[in-house]
Structure 1
Amino acid sequence: MATEDTEELRLPRSWQANERLHALVPGGAHTYAKGDDQYPENLAPVISHGRGAHVWDVDGNRYIEYGSGLRSVSLGHAHPRVIEAVRRELHRGSNFVRPSIVEVEAAERFLATVPTAEMVKFTKNGSDATTAAVRLARAVTGRPRVAVCGDHPFFSVDDWFIGTTPMSAGIPAATTELTVTFPYGDLATTEELLTRYRGEVACLILEPASHTALFPGSQPLPQAPGFAQAGETPLHREDPTPQYLADLRELAHRHGCVLIFDEMITGFRWSEAGAQGLYGVVPDLSTFGKALGNGFAVSALAGRRDLMERGGLRHSRDRVFLLSTTHGAETHSLAAAMAVQNTYTEEGITARLHALGERLAAGVRDAAAGTGVGDHVVVRGRASNLVFATLDENRQPSQQYRTLFLRQLLAGGVLAPSFVVSSALDDADIDRTVDVVAQACAVYRKALDAGDPTPWLAGRPVKPAFRRLA
């Protein structure tokens, strides 16, 4: 069923490419957040190329893109400083039988950017870094359990975390039972947990900012920033006070636990040194990724020398298999990481991300209020890391209304699973996005008045990325 408001956007080549992907790649993508089930039916663009804040699909359509590379491309696609740094390494070789001098330079640059850490080891993805942190914590404490912040939706693809999600098939219950959860911001409950499992918890791992809290009363499916906020869209709660993080560190240490900050998202977007740099609270270990490489595959585990050295050679205790990856120190990605850090510090990128996000948030809120849906299309989050909620007539998170909203955005040339900005956006991009949002909100208002968004969906609703059944 169609209405006069439904844009007739057609993506025949993207549809064909998606079919080819599903025939060859489980899920049709290499990241579940990029799956076509996260987009309106038959409206999942397959990308040809990108430059700056724009991407083009294989059908020739151009989009203003948000959440670029699942928050990893914060400088924009094909950023000249990053590409030039990579190009300089291309003819020099990418991987050798011994460490490259680039590894020294990259480590020095990283530790200058994140001075709260004393050692660093690079790898290719965030899950490897967080799992290495957990393994190290277990080794140094001799304890089996891991406490993860239950308000933060994603930490790793590895069994210790994925076993706690609805997609736990193939993971032994004995593994899952070793992971317990604590609530963000609630020290008393966390202390009760550590007392209940006294002497068993090796570490507490959390994102040091509460930017992805679920709607009260929503089904607690993990909706990671890396998973496009599909499902019950997270809303922002106030960032923590530094005192909470300092008190959590004291609590962890009093119970003999290692404190781990997952800075995959907060790294660079909160400050160049992450949330720990902004709030002045130093964890024992921390992990960085996403923005670190501006789309190139690089992540980092960093932390205290006495802990990190347990994965090294200069001690007499049992060695920890910390990180040992064939491609972990591939020179192109390390060169990209150094260029990213130089660009952030020299060009004030974090401040620019905040300014762009503030302009966008104000515009979207005005557009939603102006069309009478200000209580239904809701923007929340730190300005550099905005998400949006799509609420039904009862102000409850709605997959159907999310589908309607995404469909209208796509028709207007805006690809936005979130409103996470890149520094490549300009004022014209923001203004155009706000215009498209206003048009989408006008349709949203009509659907609310009708009490049923179905006529505007043109197919099945989008689905949560984490779910038990396909």
Structure 2
Amino acid sequence: MTSHMSFVQSNWLQTRLHDLVPGGAHTYARGSDQYPEFMAPILVRGNGCRVWDADGNEFIEYGMGLRAVTLGHAYPPVVEAVRAAIANGVSFSRPTVHELDAAEDFLRLVPGADMVKFAKNGSDVTTAAVKLARAATGRTKIAICDQPFFSTDDWFIGHTPMASGIPEAVTRDTVRFAYNDLPSLAEVLADNDIACVVMEAATASAEPQPGYLEGVRELCDRTGTLLVFDEMITGFRWSAGGAQEVYGVTPDLSCWGKAMGNGFPLSALAGRRAFMELGGLRTDGDRVFLLSTTHGPETASLAAFRAVAQAYTSEDPIGRMERAGELLADGVTTAAAELGLSAHVQVVGRPSCLVFVTRDAQLVPSQAFRALFLQELLRGGVLGQSFVTSAAHSDSDVEKTVDAASAALHVYRQAIDRESVDGLLEGRPVAPAIRGSAYPRRLRRRG
């Protein structure tokens, strides 16, 4: 790995992507505005925790497909299972045995759920949970925790800075409450008009206080409100059974995705039979159009999931992720302390789901300083908007990452001493993925 890297081919490809794809990527979090300007690698392949871009640069990757890859890229048992499945067809006009086998595997891992339905996108299953809760309760309002992201659909996005195109009539039915604040939730539920509470049991930077989740469960039971856990990130990263298994609180419905297929597209809505059956053929009430997806049960992703489930049953991928995370956090924290940057650059979160915080000379969170840190990590052969590990990150990979972070921190120290990134950061700072304007990374149209 070398600090002398070319991004000529990646930059050309990124420009072409902006010509053909709004935002230049199919996920806002993958956008070029999330990386240093002119240093946004366009990837061509990956193996384990390594990826290679169109210019031939090699990186140790963190974030791993927006937390979707826990076992490593091209993990052989997953690849082999998918290859065997697709050799016999991918999509049919009737259910396949893969659907039954995958459902049985899933429900063995998530004992708090009675039934499961597979889909492709996390947003789809979260919105299905909201629809199901409305049907079950006869209520329309939704209470969402003050956490980063739940869905691309109107009921959630209408409460973000990117609310353009969403009617106010839709957004008024969604209300917010604060995490780890039971009085905040109690106030929201006081009128008994909330269909469901949607929340993550924990996040990369926030653990539930003792008794908090139990209190949420009790408030929902008392008010007849369904409790929905978003397990997109916590599922297969906190444990195979998700955060609900770790904290011992069972939701009515839970929503899964990301690491289920080690990168293959798969999501799931799981929950109690009494509610899930409302979308089936064994109900006397009005049926809920729950989930009906052409590609939800395709054999490739279900085979990938079954291989993932087997790995979590026979191996300890979470233990390996956590070991890598602990070594990485210790190494970067020590390097920052040696340069007097302990308050400026911090690694926080669960060892299997680490993020880094970047602050300026006044200790204010800074996108410009974040861009500088990302830039220098890239020059050291590390690609990552976070320090989220996978089971494929070895001690050697972590050691090389700490070396790259240490070199980046030396440049960061210069910027702190100058109280500015000027002369050190090439191009404009990165910007939040969900924001109301294209600025500060607005691009000119070509031609």
Structure 2: gaps of 5 or more residues? 439-447
Residue in structure 1 matching 2:368, options 400, 404, 426: 400
- Tell me by how many angstroms 1:451 deviates: 1.3
Are 1:56 and 2:52 counterparts?
yes
Query: What's the counterpart of residue 301 of structure 2?
Result: 333
- Tell me by how many angstroms 1:10 deviates: 2.9
Determine the C-alpha separation between the residues in 1 that align with 2:397 and 2:319.
18
Query: What's the counterpart of residue 183 of structure 2?
Result: 188
Determine the C-alpha separation between the residues in 1 that align with 2:370 and 2:313.
36
Determine the C-alpha separation between the residues in 2 that align with 1:210 and 1:40.
26
The two structures, once aligned, show a CA RMSD in angstroms of: 1.1
User: For residues 248 and 126 of structure 1, do their structure 2 counterparts lie closer, same or farther at Cα, with a shift above 3 Å needed?
Assistant: same
Contact 2:71 2:392 in 1 (8 A): yes
Determine the C-alpha separation between the residues in 1 that align with 2:203 and 2:84.
39
Query: What's the counterpart of residue 151 of structure 2?
Result: 156
Are 1:73 and 2:56 counterparts?
no
Residue in structure 1 matching 2:20, options 15, 18, 24: 24
Contact 2:154 2:171 in 1 (8 A): yes
- Tell me by how many angstroms 1:64 deviates: 0.1
- 1:171-182 counterparts in 2 under 5 A? 171-182=166-177
Residue in structure 2 matching 1:201, options 194, 213, 221: 194
Determine the C-alpha separation between the residues in 2 that align with 1:281 and 1:323.
25
Determine the C-alpha separation between the residues in 2 that align with 1:447 and 1:159.
41
- Tell me by how many angstroms 1:181 deviates: 0.4
2:40 is paired with a residue whose SS is coil
Query: What's the counterpart of residue 216 of structure 1?
Result: none
> What amino acid sits opposite 2:402 in the alignment?
V
Determine the C-alpha separation between the residues in 1 that align with 2:236 and 2:260.
8
Are 1:319 and 2:287 counterparts?
yes
- 1:68-217 counterparts in 2 under 5 A? 68-150=64-146, 152-195=147-190, 198-211=191-204
Residue in structure 2 matching 1:368, options 326, 329, 336: 336
Q: Which ranges of 4 or more aligned residues in structure 1 deviate by more than 6 Å?
A: none
Please give the per-residue CA displacement for 1:141-200, whole angstroms capped at 9, x wherever unaligned. Answer: 0101000001x11000001001110001110001011100011111112111111xx132
- Tell me by how many angstroms 1:243 deviates: 2.1
1:184 is paired with a residue whose SS is coil
2:410 is paired with a residue whose SS is helix
TM-score norm. by structure 2 comes to 0.96
Contact 2:335 2:406 in 1 (8 A): yes
Determine the C-alpha separation between the residues in 2 that align with 1:143 and 1:264.
25
Determine the C-alpha separation between the residues in 1 that align with 2:209 and 2:28.
33
2:235 is paired with a residue whose SS is helix
Query: What's the counterpart of residue 452 of structure 1?
Result: 420
Please give the per-residue CA displacement for 1:45-102, whole angstroms capped at 9, x wherever unaligned. Answer: 0001000100000000000000011000111100001001101111111111000010
Please give the per-residue CA displacement for 1:229-255, whole angstroms capped at 9, x wherever unaligned. Answer: xxxxxxx24x11462111101101111
Contact 2:177 2:185 in 1 (8 A): yes
- 1:178-257 counterparts in 2 under 5 A? 178-195=173-190, 198-211=191-204, 236-237=205-206, 239-241=207-209, 243-257=211-225
Contact 1:119 1:303 in 2 (8 A): yes
Please give the per-residue CA displacement for 1:240-290, whole angstroms capped at 9, x wherever unaligned. Answer: 146211110110111110000000000011111001011111000001111
Determine the C-alpha separation between the residues in 2 that align with 1:339 and 1:428.
26
Contact 2:129 2:253 in 1 (8 A): yes
> What amino acid sits opposite 2:305 in the alignment?
A
TM-score norm. by structure 1 comes to 0.92
- Tell me by how many angstroms 1:382 deviates: 0.3
Contact 2:5 2:57 in 1 (8 A): no
> What amino acid sits opposite 1:325 in the alignment?
T
Determine the C-alpha separation between the residues in 1 that align with 2:283 and 2:415.
66
Query: What's the counterpart of residue 215 of structure 1?
Result: none
Residue in structure 2 matching 1:413, options 346, 368, 381: 381
Determine the C-alpha separation between the residues in 2 that align with 1:249 and 1:282.
8
Structure 1: gaps of 5 or more residues? 1-6, 212-235
- Tell me by how many angstroms 1:8 deviates: 5.4
Contact 2:321 2:393 in 1 (8 A): no
Determine the C-alpha separation between the residues in 2 that align with 1:105 and 1:10.
47
User: For residues 291 and 384 of structure 1, do their structure 2 counterparts lie closer, same or farther at Cα, with a shift above 3 Å needed?
Assistant: same
> What amino acid sits opposite 1:99 in the alignment?
P
Please give the per-residue CA displacement for 1:176-231, whole angstroms capped at 9, x wherever unaligned. Answer: 11100011111112111111xx13210001000143xxxxxxxxxxxxxxxxxxxx
1:454 is paired with a residue whose SS is coil
- Tell me by how many angstroms 1:332 deviates: 0.5
Percent same amino acid among aligned pairs? 57
Contact 1:270 1:278 in 2 (8 A): yes
> What amino acid sits opposite 2:107 in the alignment?
L
> What amino acid sits opposite 1:380 in the alignment?
V
- Tell me by how many angstroms 1:16 deviates: 0.5
